[in-house]
Structure 1
Amino acid sequence: MPKNTNRVDLYQAVTDDILSMLEAGTKPWAKPWSGGASIPLRHNGIPYRGINILSLWASAMRQGFASPYWLTFKQALELGGNVKKGSKGTTVVYANKLVIKDEETDDERRIPFLKRYTVFNAEQVEGVEGKYPPPPAIINNPDSRDDELEAMFGRIEADLRHGGSSAFYHIRDDYIQMPAFEAFHTGDDYYATLAHEATHWAGAESRLNRKTLTSTSRADYARDELVAELGAAFLGATIGFKVEEREDHAAYIEHWLAALRNDKRAIFEAAREAQNAADYLLAMMQEGGG
């Protein structure tokens, strides 16, 4: 059963979990899968979103799970399975607002709340192996372009320019600059970098109007780099390219650690903004895609 939970305690617990991995030099969103890239899925195949993706990726990394499927104890029983003895569950959250209506004035108040669930990976459940086979490995030719990914990225309505040795999003002139495809070690490196810059692009004032992108604060700049990293990871896990560790982002780790230590909601906000950007980009990428 879901439990009502103290928001502060829950924010702190999830933040501490992500912090511990970052302090150990591991990013839950960089190469968070084994065998194939996948967004974590509920028992019925519906994808998790936002902060729950990070929590489940982190748990899968620590425990070595390849399956993207997660079930509650009750769901496992309903499917004829049983959680293995000694299995450690993972916390996921459900956020919504309770609408309270004043009977005299008909005014409505919306009170935010969080519910907490404990879920188990399909590999922790006996008797459901036939329902939840492991995902196939995604194998891309690292030396050539991927026609499907090319078509999807080509639907993004951005001014994309190639040349030079740097990848960046130019805020003032609103364009994405990328080195030539051949300059990257693998095709996945190219698509992951493009997804990162596209996540920045999506946050422009004329689109999602993300404050960390348009701010002149160095701390906000680092926060937007975190959003872009998460956005690229969400996109990669959805449409099928691997996101590797990027050396040029190592300098931001201390900024991220400081942000998470000082603000227990920072990783929740970053995950929310990254999910918004991924949704925005996927709506373009999959348009007319079938």
Structure 2
Amino acid sequence: MNVYKIVTEQICQQLEQGVVPWRKPWKDGVAVSWKTQKPYRGINVFLLPPGEYATFKQIQEHGGRVKKGEKGHLVVFWKWLEKENEETGEIEKFPLLRYYKVFEVNTQAEGVPSRRQKPEQMEETFEHDVIGACEAVIEGYVDAPEIRFAPGEAFYHKVLDYVQCPPLRDFESLSGFYGVLFHELVHSTGHPSRLNRKGIAGRSKFGDEDYSQEELVAELGAAILCAHVGISSERTLQNSASYIQGWLKVLRSDARLVVQAASQAQKACDYILGKDTEEE
């Protein structure tokens, strides 16, 4: 089984259990490398529960051990290979998807101290902090489209380049409001003047492959942005049985879809946040 199929199968297993990986609560933290304390990126964000992860070798080298019976979590990465073009003689690079296994050091290992600083309890001020962090993301989107607030519908108009979202008063929760707004802002990064993504810049239609991938890009991107500001990306509507079954059908028909979409979602979020996209 190739890496794309392994990743897709893990995502599908979560969907079959009624869990939408890109809609899980992020406020408890994100998955980071134990060694560097840097958050995982791309599809790894949705494969790993919150925690600190290290390889079997890293745990051993630091005097620890993996608990008996524990199974490693999948992490994928791109390995760049070089090959000489037979016609031109030039060296060309192309990416190959690979994977390895990691273990959560606090629950799956012993003898390896946590390197993460424990966040202070912020229950009383959480709501105010969330608003500020979310607004900072929106304000930091340097060439953002116009955002219009009107009841009833949320969408990105790719021809006129504007986002419409119901006003905050129409949402039961702050996280629901910002999750919807982030979803539409991620769509907007596909505009030809920005990242020129096929699902937005092309002629995609409802239900076709490009449309499905673009919707997944926006779903994953909204989850990444919610993680960035420390709020839950949960939306009850999006956890319906029909929604889950629909995604199972799409993902099982194309094993590459979720990995490619996660990569595009990461680029979209980096664009909104004003970060240089890192080579995975």
Question: How high is the TM-score relative to the length of structure 1?
Answer: 0.81
Structure 2 partner of 1:125: 109
SS of corresponding position for 1:208: coil
Could you tell me which residue of structure 1 aligns to residue 8 of structure 2?
A: 15
Aligned to 1:152: 137
Deviations 1:201-231 (CA, angstroms, capped at 9, x unpaired): 1112221121123412423333322211100
Cross-structure match for 2:44: 52
Write the distance in 2 (CA, Å) between the matches of 1:40 and 1:9.
Answer: 25
Q: Report whether the alignment pairs 1:75 with 2:68.
A: no
Deviation at 1:105, TM superposition (A): 6.4
- The CA distance in 1 between the partners of 2:267 and 2:122, in whole Å, is 25
Residue 161 of structure 1: which of 145, 148, 152 is its match? 148
After TM superposition, the structure 1 stretch with the greater mean CA deviation from structure 2, 275-284 or 100-109, is 100-109
Deviations along 1:228-284, one digit per CA (max 9) or x if unpaired, are 110011111122221013405745434422221111111111111111111111117
- 2:165–2:181 Cα contact (<8 Å) kept: yes
The CA RMSD measured in Å over matched residues stands at: 2.7
What SS is found at the alignment partner of 2:156?
A: strand
Instruction: Summarize the alignment of residues 56-67 of structure 1 with structure 2, pairs less than 5 Å apart.
Output: 56=48, 60=49, 66-67=50-51
Which residue of 2 is the match for residue 218 of structure 1?
207
Secondary structure of the 1:277 match is helix
Asked whether the equivalents of residues 43 and 71 of structure 1 are also in contact (C-alpha less than 8 Å), the reply is: yes
Q: Give deviations 1:165-216, integer Å, cap 9, x for gaps.
A: 2221111211111111122112111111111111111112221121123412
Whether 2:28 is the aligned partner of 1:36: answer: yes
Give the gaps of 5 or more residues in structure 1.
1-7, 61-65, 285-290
2:77 aligned to which of 94, 101, 124: 94
For structure 2, the 5+ residue unaligned runs are 276-280
Aligned match of 2:220: 230
Question: Does the 8 Å CA contact 2:157/2:163 hold for their aligned counterparts?
Answer: yes
Give the % identical residues. Answer: 39
Task: Please tell me whether residue 247 in structure 1 is matched to residue 237 in structure 2.
Answer: yes
Counterpart-to-counterpart distance in 1, 2:120 and 2:23: 19
Q: 1:26 aligns with which of 16, 19, 32?
A: 19
Match of 2:278 in 1: none
Taking structure 1 as reference, are residues 188 and 271 closer, same or farther at Cα in structure 2, changes over 3 Å only?
same
Residue pair 1:96, 1:113 contacting (<8 A) in 2 also: yes
* Distance of aligned partners of 1:190 and 1:94 in 2 relative to their CA distance in 1, 3 Å threshold: same
CA contact (8 A) 1:39 1:48 kept: yes
| 23 and 92 in structure 1: CA distance in 2 versus 1, 3 angstrom threshold | same
Work out the number of aligned pairs and report it: 267
CA–CA separation in structure 1 for the residues paired with 2:251 and 2:86: 42
Cα deviation, 1:9-61, whole Å, max 9, x if unaligned, reads 2211111111122123211121255x6232443521122211222221xxx3x
Aligned partners of 2:93 and 2:173: how far apart in 1?
Answer: 48
Whole-angstrom CA distance in 1 between matches of 2:122 and 2:216: 25
Q: Does the aligned pair in 1 maintain the 2:105–2:114 contact within 8 Å?
A: no
Secondary structure in 1 matching 2:33? coil
